[in-house]
């Protein structure tokens, strides 16, 4: 069974297929004997103008939060980050912000790879199964939404 321990920025849905480049250390695993637990993605640095988009919070709320930062918060630029499935949502938010600013805002997108760690816990403690960890990669996007300098 797949489950996430705590809510967070994590975006990959429980049913998501294994990431294509999950590395060389593929572990032969009997799905009956192990529970796969996805750890949270690493805590990333957070400035006031960083927004980490997730798939749990309502889309409008996240968009409104960005708009508030740019309009009311007095920030000239914000960074919208999305990981895995949330990449789409991050892009959508950035494009929405740009569209509603009537072209005043510009976007600068960067991509990266984030290493994620999964824990494999033996279902039955009596058996000889050792707890294992597995790392895999997931793609992420970082979009700078900013007012260009005049």
Partner 1 sequence: KMQATRHTNNISEPLMQQSTTLSPPVLASPPSPKLGLRNFKRISRTEDSSVYPIPGRAPDTLHMRVREGSKIRNLLRFASARMQEEGRDSSGRALRQVVFTGSGRGVTKTITCVEILKRKVAGLHQVSKLYYKTVNEVWEGPQQGAPGMTMQRTIPAICILLSKDPLDPQEPGYQSPQILNRSASISSDETKNSSFITQYCGCKNMKIVCSFDMPQHVIIL
Residue ranges in contact with partner 1 by CB under 8 A:
19-21, 42-45, 47, 59-60, 63-64, 67, 71, 79, 84-85, 87-89, 91-92, 94-96, 99-100, 106-115, 117, 137, 139-144
- The tally of CA atoms less than 13 A away on the side-chain side of residue 87 is 14
Residue 95 near residue 82, CB atoms below 8 Å: no
Closer of 27 and 104 to partner 1 (Cβ): 104
* Residue with Cβ nearer partner 1 (34 or 70): 70
CB of 98: closest distance to partner 1 in angstroms? 8
Nearest residue to 52 (alpha-carbon basis) of 21, 20, 84? 84
Q: How far apart are CA 24 and CA 17, in angstroms?
A: 17
Q: Say if residues 137 and 97 touch (Cβ distance below 8 Å).
A: no
**Quick one: 35 or 92, whose CB is closer to partner 1?**
92
Q: Which is nearer to partner 1, 23 or 31 (CB)?
A: 23
The rounded distance, in Å, linking the Cα atoms of 77 and 73 is 10
Give residues with Cβ within 8 angstroms of 77, minimum separation 6.
49, 144, 145, 146, 147
Q: How far is CA 120 from the centre of its chain?
A: 21
* Least distance CB 141 / partner 1 (angstroms): 6
Minimum CB distance to partner 1 smaller for 33 or for 77: 77
CB of 25 to partner 1, least distance (A): 13
Tell the smallest beta-carbon distance from residue 52 to partner 1 (Å): 12
Rounded to a whole number of angstroms, the minimum distance from the CB of residue 110 to partner 1 is 5
């Amino acid at each position: 069974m797949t489950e996430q321990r705590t809510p967070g920025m994590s975006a990959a849905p429980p049913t998501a297929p294994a990431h294509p480049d999950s590395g060389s250390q593929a572990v032969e695993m009997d799905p009956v004997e192990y529970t796969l637990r996805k750890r949270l993605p690493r805590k990333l640095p957070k400035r006031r103008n960083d927004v980490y988009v997730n798939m749990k919070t309502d889309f409008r709320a996240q968009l409104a939060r960005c708009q508030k930062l740019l309009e009311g918060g007095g920030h000239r630029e914000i960074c919208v980050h999305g990981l895995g499935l949330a990449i789409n949502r991050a892009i959508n938010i950035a494009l929405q912000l740009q569209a509603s600013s009537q072209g005043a805002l510009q976007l600068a997108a960067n991509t990266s790879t984030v290493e994620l760690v999964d824990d494999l816990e033996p279902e039955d403690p009596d058996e000889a199964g050792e707890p294992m960890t597995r790392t895999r990669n997931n793609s992420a996007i970082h979009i700078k939404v900013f007012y260009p300098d005049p």
